[in-house]
Amino acid sequence: MRRARDGCLDAYRALVERHATRAYRVALAMLERPEDAEDVTQEALLAAWLALPTFRGDASFATWLHRIVTTRALNRSTRAARTRPLDAVPEPADPARGPAEQAEQHQAAVAVAEAVAELPAAQRVALVLYQFEGLSYDDIAEVTHSTVPAVRSHLYRARRTLATRLHDWR
């Protein structure tokens, strides 16, 4: 990190290789469309590179990058039209399942993606970072500039909303 902050491109490249996939997953979970997630990830990595000399080190690079990615993803989602194509949710093929099971699995995945996308931004960010990326409450609070009790509240409300909306898929 120190070498990257001093301008070493190879050191920054190593940071990107270590964190880009995770940053993309966060962006994808928040935006749904792979092309938007790729754009946000690239924008965030470029912004991080440009802002690296001012990085104070109060948080880890991963936490700092998550903050940049979530901010940019939220900005993009508020600007973009709220259309959700059904094929936006990637579905891994499972050869052991028949066509009916695969269709049902796809419909369930679409329902979950739509329900997550309809959550208020604070709840969606907390859920994505905790459930999909495995961040701790402390890390999420740091990424979102909030408190641990606020993160817990957002997660509770997000789970309650998802449980209600997805009741028929249990």
d(CA 156, CA 148): 12
Question: Torsions phi, psi of 91, nearest 5?
Answer: -125, 115
- For residue 90, being part of any structural domain is answered with no
d(CA 26, CA 40): 10
The pLDDT confidence band at residue 90, using thresholds 50, 70 and 90, is low
The better pLDDT of the pair 156, 132 is held by: 156
For 107-141, what is each residue's pLDDT tens digit?
777 788 888 888 998 999 999 889 888 889 999 99
Would you state the pLDDT for residue 151? 95
Please report, for the domain that includes residue 135, its CATH number. Answer: 1.10.10.10
The pLDDT confidence band at residue 83, using thresholds 50, 70 and 90, is very low
Instruction: Tell me if the pTM is above 0.75.
Output: no
Query: Are residue 115 and residue 68 in the same domain, yes or no?
Result: no
Which residue range forms the structural domain that includes residue 17?
1-85
Please report, for the domain that includes residue 50, its CATH number. Answer: 1.10.1740.10
Query: Are residue 123 and residue 56 in the same domain, yes or no?
Result: no
The pLDDT confidence band at residue 25, using thresholds 50, 70 and 90, is very high
CA separation, residue 117 to residues 78, 81, 121, 135 (Å) = 11, 12, 9, 19
Query: Are residue 133 and residue 75 in the same domain, yes or no?
Result: no
Query: Are residue 133 and residue 56 in the same domain, yes or no?
Result: no
The better pLDDT of the pair 110, 147 is held by: 147
Single residue among 85, 110, 126 that ends a domain in this structure: 85
- For residue 105, being part of any structural domain is answered with yes
The better pLDDT of the pair 159, 101 is held by: 159
